[in-house]
Structure 1
Amino acid sequence: MNQVVLMGRLTRDPEVRYSSGEKALAIARYTLAVDRRGKGEKAADFIPCVAFDRAAEFAEKYFRQGMRVLVSGRIQTGSYTNREGQKVYTTEVILTEQEFADSKGEAGKSSTGAAESGRINMQESDDFMHIPEGADDEGLPFN
């Protein structure tokens, strides 16, 4: 079984690009700083994460540097040859779910609890995306 669950803070705003072709697909990349639990010394791992399609657009619109988020997905490894001819190995988390880990109160607004945090499940079949309260309606597919 290949499944990972991480909670950490975004090291910078997500970077979104679109694939080429008839049906352009949004691809968001961001890095989570995940604290290591241990005795004494504080350390963090920096984990690259990738979200696709609507989840990528959600991350671009609502996730910002420093926010704490909870993600789950699978680890994927790969490799490529760079311009200097050296083989580079990659490891990243391909997301199946992502959500805010802090309540609105912890993010600097009135406290409402984690149950109302924004969440998107990339495997949901109902095609609904939970938008955090107070988000502007601009760009939403409905009004």
Structure 2
Amino acid sequence: MINNIVLVGRTTKTIELKQNKNGTNYVQFTLAVNRPYKGEQGGQQADFITCVAWNKTAETIANYVLKGMMIGIEGRLQVRNYENEAGVRQYLSEV
């Protein structure tokens, strides 16, 4: 089985380095990836994809990647789910 994704797009905001409860560094950011075709009114369309990086990769991204920069990433698709306050199951897709 193959679960491999390659994306090239622009970051949508400044990326902040965070730590989880175990003290592991991570970043979570959104990558805007243009679609290869234009919409009905001629405007460019994009998909906004949530990305997560850990440890040294997260530190490098936080130190060198700014809002609006075009970057390329390679990763895997991960789908998580949880129950919100209303008891409804929510699904998240991340690279």
TM-score w.r.t. the length of structure 2 is 0.89
Corresponding residue for 1:63?
65
Tell me the C-alpha RMSD between the 2 structures: 1.2
How many pairs are equivalent?
A: 91
Corresponding residue for 1:13?
14
Of structures 1 and 2, the larger Rg is shown by 1
After the TM superposition, which residues 1-143 of structure 1 pair with which residues of structure 2 at under 5 Å, given as runs?
1-21=2-22, 24-39=23-38, 40-93=42-95
* Paired AA for residue 13 in structure 1: T
List structure 1 segments (4+ residues) > 2 angstroms apart after TM superposition.
none
For residue 20 of structure 1, report the CA deviation from its aligned partner. Answer: 2.2
Corresponding residue for 1:134?
none
Residues in 2 aligned to 1:20 and 1:4: alpha-carbon distance in whole angstroms: 28
Corresponding residue for 1:136?
none
Residues in 2 aligned to 1:46 and 1:19: alpha-carbon distance in whole angstroms: 24
Higher strand share: 2
Greater relative contact order (CA < 8 Å, ≥ 6 in sequence): 2
TM-score w.r.t. the length of structure 1 is 0.60
For residue 41 of structure 1, report the CA deviation from its aligned partner. Answer: 4.3
5+ residue gaps, structure 1, are 94-143
Aligned sequence identity (%): 38
5+ residue gaps, structure 2, are none
